[in-house]
Chains A and B, each alone.
Chain A
Amino acid sequence: MTSSTLKVTTPTDREIMMTRVFDAPRALVFEALTKPPLLKRWFLGPPGWTLAVCEIDLRVGGAYRYVWRGERGEMGMGGIFKEITAPERIVATEAFDQGWYPGNNAQVTQTLSEQGGKTTLTLRVMYESKDARDMVLKSPMESGVAASYDRLAEFLATQTGR
């Protein structure tokens, strides 16, 4: 399996779009994206962090909540489902407990399409402003997490070796 199949693009100035192909049928990928015991096995944060809390009320108007825990503390995030068409489309809002980019509110659209037993996941995140989008882009979750805590520079140095 190649490790460079993930494509990240900026289709508009408020969005980040990711596309990734998985060697599994769509129903299975949908399960892995929406069932807490499965999410806990892959939707992890920076190295060493676990997804300690994962609650999902998978219906329109239902809430979801994730809390990641690491040595330096924890980070929570959650939102409300706006649209669910299993197993092909989920639209939800997304906000962090401790906002770290302007607005701290985004809309996430996940689309799954299957072809020949393989599934393409498209993840589109729309931010309130271009500033918010750019900040997220420049500090992926690793630094977003650490920003809430002390010793950010130290942490980044150990993670990236810079």
Chain B
Amino acid sequence: MTPSTRLDVTFAALADPTRRAILARLASGEASVLELAEPFEMSQPAISKHLKVLERAGLISRGRDGQRRPCRIEAEPLAEATSWLEEYRKFWEGRFQRLDVLLDELKSEAKTLSLALRRLGP
């Protein structure tokens, strides 16, 4: 996979709330399909389907521990997807910091104006 297609697969896998919840659960330690299915009120096959998507995206791996086959989170693709979000965030944060400055200026202008009006007042 090229870095760009790999990222597509990662984003697609992350687009689903159940899959994000599964990742959040796995961030605190490995778990079996049964353990993962429990809090979601979903059938085991439904959870398995989600796990397959996550596995294909490289976001999790499955152990070889007999029937249990515990799932583990894989940090690298997640970090890659986050870095794109971070670039996008930085661009907008630059803009919003200028908006912070403008808002501060507007607030102090408003204060000066109201002081001036008070002096002119009756």
User: A interface vs B, CB < 8 Å?
Assistant: 1, 3-4, 6-10, 12-13, 16, 18, 20, 22-24, 28-29, 31-32, 38, 41-44, 130, 134, 137-138, 140-142
Interface residues of B in 82-105 (CB under 8 A from A): 84-85, 87-89, 91-93, 95-104
Interface residues of B in 18-53 (CB under 8 A from A): none
Minimal beta-carbon separation of B20 from chain A (angstroms): 10
Per-residue CB proximity of B62-88 to A under 8 Å, as 1/0?
A: 000000000000000000000011011
Per-residue CB proximity of B107-120 to A under 8 Å, as 1/0?
A: 10010000000000
Q: Which 7 A-B pairs have the closest CB atoms?
A: A13-B15, A42-B98, A24-B103, A140-B91, A42-B99, A8-B89, A140-B88
Minimal beta-carbon separation of B95 from chain A (angstroms): 6
A and B contact pairs by CB, cutoff 8 A, 30 listed: A3-B93, A6-B92, A7-B89, A10-B14, A12-B15, A13-B11, A13-B12, A13-B15, A20-B92, A22-B103, A23-B100, A23-B104, A24-B106, A24-B107, A28-B110, A29-B99, A32-B102, A38-B106, A42-B95, A42-B98, A42-B99, A42-B101, A43-B99, A44-B95, A44-B98, A130-B11, A137-B85, A138-B7, A138-B84, A140-B87
**Extra pairs beyond A13-B11, A43-B99 (16, CB < 8 Å):** A4-B93, A8-B88, A10-B15, A12-B15, A13-B15, A18-B89, A20-B96, A24-B103, A24-B104, A24-B106, A28-B103, A31-B106, A32-B102, A42-B95, A140-B92, A141-B91
A23–B85 Cα distance when bound, in Å, is 24
A41–B104 Cα distance when bound, in Å, is 13
